[in-house]
Chain A
């Protein structure tokens, strides 16, 4: 090899400097992240309800979020107005790619469960044959500082400082969880079985709080359902509103017509629709995918006031408002 390298010594020396410079642009990590438009996913692929044909008009939206961004990606973003570059948050700097992926899956699990419960509840007001019975069962851990390795992403918190989940309402248990030091009783899934653990933690002053998503056990659902969407790699809670609308409309067999509906926004058990990240990229995705009707949380209206889009935009605060807007749109 050395003989070969000596033979082309001049060429190698001349090329090595631009080569290293380009390599640096392509691989050097920065302290920034890039968000870019993604794609839409039909909700009908995520939820299956026994005896019901899921409507295919409803779509959730995902965007691409890359961190840490490379200098070359920054150059691409500078040339493309549909992409945004921002500083990494303290959580993003701390979390590993694996934990980030697991957190996305936890958020999706919680979001899909809440969507099913809310959709069944709303549909049961119209059709009393639709029934759902559920119970709040704990909090799923979606973030902890990486140094607290005794806690795993996905752990279900069933007691905090000895106070069990059964002694609290969902709201009071979530309030109780906002502590900088606590002893947690945990239920951890290992394959098909569960193990119980007790972990004590103390957060440093500069560390963010632990983050949780509510967990529910569904005791009975008529008609029964399955969630194949849990097996996909796309994660996150932002599909909550659209999942709920899709399940609701499918359960009641609403005549939606030949329109493409998409949207974004988290859903809480209270029915409130929450803010999400990358709203501008989601609007651009809606434009690219030729959506007819687009739902967003009202709190995002000011973020997109300068944008122009060809679809009807519906901004809502609660899922009840979204259901009403859907009925008005299809009537």
Chain B
């Protein structure tokens, strides 16, 4: 148990260090551009599956399953968004290429995904 706590603590320490490094290298203007681009690209990728699900809501027997699928897609969205974000940010700042962005990517995506999952479960429990 203590080992696990230590590992989490170390990972969190590394995460903060890596974020500081990335923040140091990245310019605000390019961060804004990366955020905007990643947002647009991730929405484009997920638009088709989301629209397919919305169109299929006419089948009343599938309503519950479709609603769960919609929540799953919403939960997956931050992972896609941050993948695009770091990819584009590395294009703007080649120095970041050498920084390991896997840990910040996983931590930030997981936090947002968890929040969206909680909201999704609350919405599902209200509707059904």
Contact = CB atoms under 8 A, between A and B. Distances in A.
Interface string A1-43: 1011001000000000001001100110000001011110000
Interface stretch (B18-26, B49-57, B96-104, B111-119): B49-57
Nearest to A19: B48
A72 interface: yes
Contacts of A76: 55-56, 58-59
Bin chain A's interface residue count. Answer: 20 to 34
Nearest to B33: A1
Interface string B3-36: 0000000000000000000000000000001101
Contact of A83 (B33, B34, B52, B58): B58
A1 B88 contact: yes
Contact of B48 (A22, A36, A39): A22
Given A1-B33, A4-B37, A19-B48, A73 B60 contact: no
A66 interface: yes
B51 A23 contact: yes
A277 to B, nearest CB: 16
A213 to B, nearest CB: 27
Contacts of B2: none
Given A4-B37, A64-B60, A26 B88 contact: no
A26 B58 contact: no
A15 to B, nearest CB: 10
A80 interface: yes
A73 B88 CA distance: 36
Nearest to B90: A4
A44 interface: no
B37 A1 contact: yes
A36 B47 contact: no
A34 B51 contact: no
A80 B48 contact: no
Given A4-B87, A26-B51, A73 B58 contact: yes
A70 B56 CA distance: 11
A149 B122 CA distance: 39
A80 B52 contact: no
A37 B63 CA distance: 12
A110 to B, nearest CB: 27
Contact of B60 (A7, A19, A34, A39): A39
Given A4-B87, A80-B59, A27 B51 contact: yes
Nearest to B88: A4
A26 B55 contact: yes
Contacts of B57: 64
Interface string B43-84: 000011001100111111100000000000000000000000
Given A1-B33, A1-B88, A4-B91, A72 B52 contact: yes
Nearest to B51: A26
Contacts of A288: 60-61
B53 to A, nearest CB: 10
A66 B55 CA distance: 10
B60 A36 contact: yes
B48 A26 contact: yes
Contacts of B48: 19, 22-23, 26
Interface in A68-82: 70, 72-73, 76-77, 80
A255 B109 CA distance: 58
Contacts of A37: 60
Interface of B: 33-34, 36-37, 40-41, 47-48, 51-52, 55-61, 87-88, 91-92
Given A19-B48, A73-B58, 19 more contacts: A1-B34, A1-B36, A1-B37, A1-B41, A1-B88, A4-B91, A23-B47, A23-B48, A26-B48, A26-B52, A36-B58, A64-B57, A70-B55, A72-B52, A72-B55, A73-B55, A76-B59, A77-B58, A285-B60
Q: 8 shortest A-B CB distances, which residue pairs?
A: A1-B37, A26-B51, A3-B91, A36-B58, A72-B55, A4-B88, A73-B55, A4-B91
7 contacts: A1-B33, A1-B34, A7-B91, A19-B48, A34-B58, A39-B60, A76-B56
